Structure 1
Amino acid sequence: MYAIVEIAGQQFKIEKGRYIYTHRLSGEVDAALASDQVKVLLVDNAGTITVGAPTVTGATVSATILEHLKGEKVIVFKKKRRKGYKKKNGHRQYLTKLQINDITI
């Protein structure tokens, strides 16, 4: 069984017991994810696919916030040749690690 869900503006394919990394969510570590933060768009239950319009009614996902962390560093480098213009910037995205506990229809 798997589901396609929308969390914090991103879509994920989730299964029970898996971990996902999403943009930083409000909530404490070891707390359950609020049901209004997750929109279930599609559910596949042993080959039976249910597509929502826009969400699947009655379908819920329970998840636990495991930790808040920062992603890998991304280097942004800009240069214009022969002009002496160089800019170097770094960025680390704030992330939340979630564990999917259960998917119910």
Structure 2
Amino acid sequence: MFAVVRTGGKQYRVATDDKILVEKIDGEAGTNVTLETLMFGDAGAITTGGSVTAEIVAQTKGDKVIIFKKRRRHNYRRKNGHRQQLTVLKITSVG
């Protein structure tokens, strides 16, 4: 059985015991959270409703993204970086 959940403006297809990286969710490691579900599916049958429970495994950061701006012949250079804060979730129950 799988479910489609939405968190952080993105949608994820999950099943029991999956681990996913999502945008930061407040909470400590070991805390259980309930995710917004869009639909469930099982062997060709798709339904709505139900709930998905996940456990926060860790709070981490993603890879660094470098932003570099330059304008030719104007002596203009700007370098900036960004690391997105992420949460690792383990799906404990679907249904």
Bin the TM-score by the shorter chain.
over 0.9
The amino acid that maps onto 2:93 is D
Amino-acid identity (%): 39
Structure 2: which 5+ runs fail to align?
none
Consecutive aligned runs of 4 or more in structure 1 exceeding 6 Å deviation? none
C-alpha RMSD of the superposition? 1.0
Matched, 1:96 2:59: no
Structure-1 residue corresponding to 2:66: 75
Superposition deviation, residue 42 in structure 1: 1.3
2:41 to 20, 41, 44: 44
Q: TM-score scaled by structure 2?
A: 0.93
Find the aligned partners of 2:26 and 2:10 in 1 and give their Cα distance. Answer: 15
Q: TM-score scaled by structure 1?
A: 0.85
Superposition deviation, residue 98 in structure 1: 0.2
Matched, 1:62 2:53: yes
Superposition deviation, residue 12 in structure 1: 0.9
Aligned length: 95
Superposition deviation, residue 47 in structure 1: 1.4
